[in-house]
Amino acid sequence: MTAWKINLIEAGLPLPDAITLRVPSAPIGFVRKLCKKQRVVVGDQIGDISRTVQYGEQVLIKSSERWLELLERSPVQPAEILYEDTECLVINKPSGLAVHHAHGHDDDLKSRLQNFLQQRRERFQLAPIHRLDAGTSGAILFGKGKKATGQLGQELMAGGITKRYLALVQGVVDEAGELTTPVLAKGRMKAALTRFRPIDNNGWTTLLELELVTGRRHQIRKQLSEAGWPIIGDSRYHQRPRVAAERLLLHCRFLAYRNPVSGRMIEVVSPLPEDFIAELSRLGLPTRDLSGLIRQNTAT
């Protein structure tokens, strides 16, 4: 089954139109047949073809061979879009995918999103407002068009965008605090600030929540390594790891920002991906309380 929640841009649309906006590779006629065959559920009710969807409702589509083929044609999977309105889009980036086209990366997130918009016949350009390293997973904000992108970029520079991360680090961290070691940026050492608090540990690794106050390149990775708590799975800043991992265990789980046109405050939570949770389990850290770290996406 395929499930996702209705975004602000989809709210108020007839159910078939909302589905094709999220999965533009699906022909509208095919989607209407899915509704008529009662293969679509909205909330706890069968999705009627004439139903108008509301913000926050869950859509569930029962799988078929044809539906799975259409999903494979989509550059973006439905649940990867965490939030979207007319000015902004927040997507859940997987670990290992670069944001921009770069040497050594044949695939990148920006190109996927641009292809997705082309399938929707939307011609404006998308641009990322902040960075995530290729190995880092989680929420990343894109602006739609030059005006929104410029305004969101100004908001970022002014410190108006909140970003919180989860990281599994080597060592035991007992108390909350701040990382203030300077970080090299554009050839000069610049001030950098990261706030952190421990969530859980198993006696030799700690799950941390971190708030990125400044946004230097590799800031969290460098500062944690210099503090003696390198991120597990970080081959660049973890030269002699005690434990191996299949991925960099760093995830951007929370974004808060203001829509540049409406002034609406947007809060987006990116759930921990399955491979991150699997690594936590493999390394012996309890995962029973992780669901409490994941809130529902909200817009106020």
Distance CA 230, CA 226 (A): 8
17-72 pLDDT tens trace: 999 999 999 999 999 999 999 999 999 899 899 999 999 999 999 989 999 999 99
User: What is the pLDDT, as a whole number, of residue 241?
Assistant: 59
pLDDT of residue 217: 86
107 is catalytic: no
* Cα(116)–Cα(27) distance, integer angstroms: 14
How confident is the model at residue 207, as a pLDDT?
Answer: 94
| Residue 290 confidence (pLDDT) | 58
Upper half-sphere CA count for residue 45 (Cβ side, 13 Å): 8
Strands, DSSP E only, in 120-246? 126-128, 137-144, 162-170, 177-179, 183-185, 188-190, 194-201, 205-212
Q: Given this model, what pLDDT does residue 88 score?
A: 95
What does the pLDDT look like over 196-255, one tens digit per residue?
Answer: 999 999 888 999 999 999 988 889 999 999 999 999 998 888 756 566 778 899 999 999
**Stated pTM of the model:** 0.90
User: How far is residue 275 CA from its own chain's centroid?
Assistant: 14
Nearest to 153 by CA among 87, 64, 231: 87
Domains of the chain: 1-74 (3.10.290.10), 160-299 (3.30.2350.10)
Closest by Cα among 129, 62, 51 to 91: 129
Residue among 175, 210, 206, 215 at smallest CA distance from 195: 210
Partners of 297 in the β-ladder: none
**297: pLDDT confidence band, cut at 50, 70 and 90?**
very low
* CA–CA distance, 274 with 292 (Å, rounded to integer): 16
Catalytic residue among 44, 107, 133, 200: 133
pLDDT score, position 238: 72
Instruction: Answer whether residue 264 shows pLDDT above 60.
Output: yes
- What integer best gives the mean pLDDT of the chain? 90
Alpha-carbon distance of 255 to 234, in angstroms, equals: 23
pLDDT at residue 156 tops 80 = yes
Coil, strand or helix at 145: helix
Q: Take residue 233 and report the two structure tokens written for it.
A: 């799975």
